[in-house]
């Protein structure tokens, strides 16, 4: 059993030692912030995007870097997960992307405001967070048809990789929200695919497929590529 003087010495040494360790770790953390947050990427657009995020209380529904509400999706890695073009389309008309489902408010952002929000989310996604958030394994097993090896697939157009792949899969890669597109050329004609892409609701009212507002050239690129997926 320690005497009073020994107990006092133990307390002082332990407190001083742990305080020194704590201060050292704090200084080390502060010194790492510029590199890990890549503060050199804080452009005026990123700053403006952060202001828009705060002004519209986006954190009231979304979570960012572990902070916020859990009503809407977590957005720390949303640019990596969805892509800039998909986010542009979504911010333009959230309801069109998820007919009858999504509760996201349509803020009617200008193009400059939309790009600022995307710049901010992209900057957040590049912060070194030691792997946070972990990518959840939410894809059901055996829901994606794999008709051919990925190396044998034709090169997809940018619209597919930036937008369509968020919901659809080809060769086992992509989303599982919509049906896999392997072999789609054997199920539909080019005219049918073009009509579907032009206005999915007109072909099948109530479908979850949004009207992406694709122009004739973009639809033609997609249809040409899809008709190669035998």
pTM: 0.67
For residue 56, is the peptide bond before it cis, meaning its omega torsion is within 30 degrees of 0? Answer: no
Residue pair 50/122 in contact (Cβ under 8 Å)? The answer is: no
Domains located in the chain, CATH noted: 39-125 (1.10.760.10), 150-226 (1.10.760.10)
pLDDT in tens, 192-228: 999 999 999 899 988 888 888 899 999 999 999 999 9
- Find all residues with CB under 8 Å of 48, minimum gap 6, and list them: 113, 116, 119, 120
CA nearest 81: which of 2, 12, 136?
A: 136
pLDDT in tens, 167-184: 899 988 888 888 999 999
Helices (H) and strands (E) in the chain, counts: 10, 4
Task: Check residue 128 and report its DSSP letter.
Answer: -
Q: Which residue has the tokens 């199920």?
A: 187
């Amino acid at each position: 059993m320690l005497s009073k003087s020994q107990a006092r010495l133990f307390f002082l040494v332990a407190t001083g030692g742990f305080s020194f360790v704590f201060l050292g770790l704090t200084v080390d953390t502060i010194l790492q912030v510029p590199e890990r947050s890549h503060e050199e990427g804080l452009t005026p657009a990123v700053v403006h995007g952060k202001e828009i995020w705060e002004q519209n209380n986006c954190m009231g529904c979304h979570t960012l870097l572990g902070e916020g509400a859990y009503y809407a999706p977590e957005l720390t890695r949303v640019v990596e997960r969805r892509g800039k073009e998909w986010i542009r389309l979504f911010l333009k008309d959230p309801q069109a992307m998820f007919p009858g489902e999504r509760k996201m408010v349509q803020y009617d952002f200008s193009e400059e405001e939309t790009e600022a929000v995307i710049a901010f989310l992209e900057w957040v996604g590049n912060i070194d967070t030691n792997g946070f958030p972990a990518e959840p394994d939410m894809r059901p097993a055996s829901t994606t048809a794999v008709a051919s090896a990925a190396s044998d697939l034709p090169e997809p157009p940018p619209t597919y990789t930036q937008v369509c792949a968020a919901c659809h899969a080809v060769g086992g890669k992509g989303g599982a929200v919509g049906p896999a597109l392997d072999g789609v050329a054997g199920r539909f004609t080019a005219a049918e695919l073009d009509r579907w892409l032009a206005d999915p609701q007109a072909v099948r009212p109530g479908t979850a497929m949004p009207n992406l507002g694709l122009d004739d050239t973009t639809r033609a690129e997609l249809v040409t590529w899809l008709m190669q997926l035998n």
